[in-house]
Amino acid sequence: MKRRPRNGRRLENAVFWLGVMAMAVGAGCALVFDIDPDSLPRESSEAGAVDAGAGGDARGPGPVPDGGTEDARGGAEIPAFVGASTAKVPSGQPIVVNRPAETVADDVLLVALFANGNDNKVTLPAMWTLLDESELPCAMSVVFAYHTVEAAPPASYTFALRKTTFESMGTIVAYRGVNPQSPIDAKRLTRLIDAGSAYTSEGIASSRPNAMLVFLAINDDGTDGTWKEPERMKPRVTQNVIGIFDALQEAAGPSGARTAFPSPAGCGGIELTFLAPRLR
């Protein structure tokens, strides 16, 4: 038997179904086609896909805050200088320094103490914490310490001396917006013996942005002298034996070396410290 060509069979089927459709439309019937949606072609979306389960959302991945969400969203206060108080005491007396009048509870105090004389030790008041101390060969000791102001603070603080044979001196500086529980972010003590005209401390590094860098210096030849501040630092105390300067460092990282210029210059010490900002 002679077989019809395959293309001819397809043509006949097509004509048949076209006839059926024409009759249905002429009779006012609706045609319904059952289409499987899974069989339809799809547009690939792989190029713009966001994996929400991996930390993204419909808007795409966002930046991750450095140092914690609280800091990145302004959750830390900016440390600021509040005030200073200095006491120059004659022989035979302890060093009694008034609390800066503007201070309130949770402010942080730093003290620099010049204890004149050989083998002269300082006893700190209650709730003060030692940063560093050193006895120098130029017949003096330097002491640096800190304290967080209590709810009902005293009007002054007394630093007892082992020897009160010579005149001594102390200065307190106050800062606000500092972490009251853990105020010290970094510190370094530098001993200076016949330093000449420059008092230089190697740098330290802060672990957080917006830390306050404080430079506390003691110069035993500066009884009636003055200080010139380090570059990019603000002068807070610039008369006599003690010089104190500060600068806010916005980015975490190294401070670089800092140099102050006492006149006249002699033997002494420097405490360079970063104060950590307070978290709200």
Report percent pLDDT > 90 for the chain.
58
More confident residue, 15 or 194: 194
Q: How confident is residue 207, by pLDDT bands cut at 50, 70 and 90?
A: very high
The dihedrals phi and psi of 20, each to the nearest 5 degrees, come to -60, -45
Global pTM value: 0.73
More confident residue, 114 or 51: 114
* pLDDT digits 0-9 by tens, 263-280: 888 889 999 999 999 988
Q: Is the pLDDT of residue 22 over 60?
A: no
Q: What local confidence, expressed as pLDDT, does residue 45 receive?
A: 33
What does the mean pLDDT of the chain come to? 79
Cβ–Cβ < 8 Å for 266, 219? yes
Q: What local confidence, expressed as pLDDT, does residue 19 receive?
A: 53
Please, which residues bridge with residue 159 across strands? 95
* pLDDT digits 0-9 by tens, 126-137: 999 999 999 998
Distance, C-alpha 205 to centroid of its chain:
10
Q: What local confidence, expressed as pLDDT, does residue 113 receive?
A: 97
* pLDDT digits 0-9 by tens, 212-232: 999 999 998 766 788 999 999
Q: DSSP letters along 116-177, please? A: ESTT--EEPPTT-EEEEEEEETTTEEEEEEEEE--SS--SEEEEEES--SS-EEEEEEEEES
Please give the Cα distance from 47 to 45 (Å, whole number). 6
